[in-house]
Amino acid sequence: MRVKAVISYDGSRFYGFQCLKGRRRTVTYEIYRALQKLGIKSKVIGSGRTDRGVHATGQVIHFDAPSYWSDKERLKSYLNRHLHPDIHFRRLDFVDESFHARYSAKRRVYRYILTKKPYNPFESKYLLFEEFDEDAISHAIKAFEGRHDFRYFMKTGSDVKSTVRTIYKAKTYRYGDRFILYFEADGFLRAQVRMMVEFLLKISSDELTVYHLLEQLATKRRYLTSLAPPQGLYLAKIIY
């Protein structure tokens, strides 16, 4: 019986999503522990990996459970009871055996949260405190929309068949004192969103320009390889 689950987690508490050799404190490791306590011995597949410090409000996973767990609300309740408190199962659904959390996904949505308000240590793990030019970022972010080769916008050492991705929406909006950068695409390369955000911040501070951004997008020249801090980044939604 295949189970599709939508989960959220506080990425600041873990060494990333994927299990790592010698690292017990990962999101997937904690999910395995909770499943095993319920007698479920299944591989856990995520829609994608998030790095250390990156959060999720809408990560999707799938696993296979015995048929006696036919009450999904009961299963969700028991999982949340046994889970690490910084991970939460938001929703469970029984799906067809052909469903795959990663390969069935059509689009992925990330949000990056900035604020200009005075630094607050109690929120420092969940958004980026930064001075920035809203208009400059809102203008430049539109350059990412469309189909591009993003090989200059990923961490080196990434092993992928293709570095071409389509970004359907790249925009900004305000939510109270927070400034949100929104990216929706058919997929993202490793650290791609953080590198795009860092480029936008460099444009905001006049260290780089939209011209430089367009040149790097066209793979003519690499002007930047650094990443925006992880704490402002959220995997928000997976669209199937």
| Catalytic (active-site) positions | 51
């015995």: which residue's tokens? 66
Q: Do 196 and 182 meet the contact criterion of CB atoms below 8 Å apart? A: no
**Could you give the angle at the alpha carbon of 173 between the alpha carbons of 167 and 176, nearest 5°?**
150
Containing 59, the helix (H) or strand (E) segment is strand 55-64
DSSP state for residue 166 in the 8-state scheme: E
Q: Do 32 and 44 meet the contact criterion of CB atoms below 8 Å apart? A: yes
Cα separation, 187 vs 44, whole angstroms: 20
Q: Do 141 and 170 meet the contact criterion of CB atoms below 8 Å apart? A: yes
Cα separation, 218 vs 205, whole angstroms: 22
> Which amino acid makes up residue 38?
L
Q: Do 42 and 65 meet the contact criterion of CB atoms below 8 Å apart? A: yes
